[in-house]
């Protein structure tokens, strides 16, 4: 195997890792919003009928773009924990308020977690490894 073959193999490895990190970040962010996550501290969606929890979808407008969304009209009120008449009382035994906000606030932690899972700690010195 020559140098050019080594470069092609390396590029394939990087492209595969990049794609795995991208899809992993989307999957973990979606899970954080819907189910909750220890990585982000998000509680997930509260469940009354399950309509809101089941409505969150992942879509991919392009190969480098993902969107996590819901079309449920009351989703912003559940996220904020209140409506125009005052505070909601959380009646669900699972989930809670602010899952989207907590997921967004912890986005870097999501990226770091997924990257470590995909690539491992190959950097060594960047995280205090042996010099």
* CA–CA distance, 37 with 97 (Å, rounded to integer): 13
For residue 106, what pLDDT band results from cuts at 50, 70 and 90? very high
Q: d(Cα 11, Cα 28) in Å, to the nearest integer? A: 25
Rounded distance, CA 131 to CA 128, Å? Answer: 8
Determine the average pLDDT of the residues in 12-37.
97
87 pLDDT above the threshold of 80 = no
Q: In the chain, where are the structural domains located?
A: 3-119
Mean pLDDT of 50-60: 96
- Token code pair at residue 35: 């189910």
Say how many CA atoms lie within 13 Å of 54 toward its Cβ: 5
Q: Taking the model in full, what pTM does it have?
A: 0.84
Q: Which residue has the higher pLDDT, 27 or 97?
A: 27
State the DSSP H helix or E strand holding residue 62, giving kind and residue range, or none if neither.
strand 57-62
pLDDT tens-digit readout, 66-85: 999 999 998 998 898 876 67
> Could you give the angle at the alpha carbon of 18 between the alpha carbons of 16 and 20, nearest 5°?
70
């Amino acid at each position: 195997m020559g140098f050019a073959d080594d470069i092609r193999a390396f590029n394939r490895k990087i492209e595969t890792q990049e794609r795995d990190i991208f899809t992993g970040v989307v999957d973990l962010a979606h899970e954080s919003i819907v189910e909750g996550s220890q990585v982000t501290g998000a509680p997930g969606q509260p469940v009354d009928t399950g309509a809101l929890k089941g409505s969150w979808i992942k879509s991919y407008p392009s190969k480098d773009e993902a969107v996590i969304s819901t079309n449920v009209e009351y989703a912003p009120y559940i996220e904020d924990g209140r409506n125009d008449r005052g505070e909601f009382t959380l009646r669900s035994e699972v989930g809670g308020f602010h899952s989207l906000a907590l997921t967004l606030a912890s986005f870097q932690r999501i990226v770091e977690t997924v990257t470590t899972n995909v690539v491992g700690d190959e950097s060594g010195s960047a995280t205090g490894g042996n010099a």
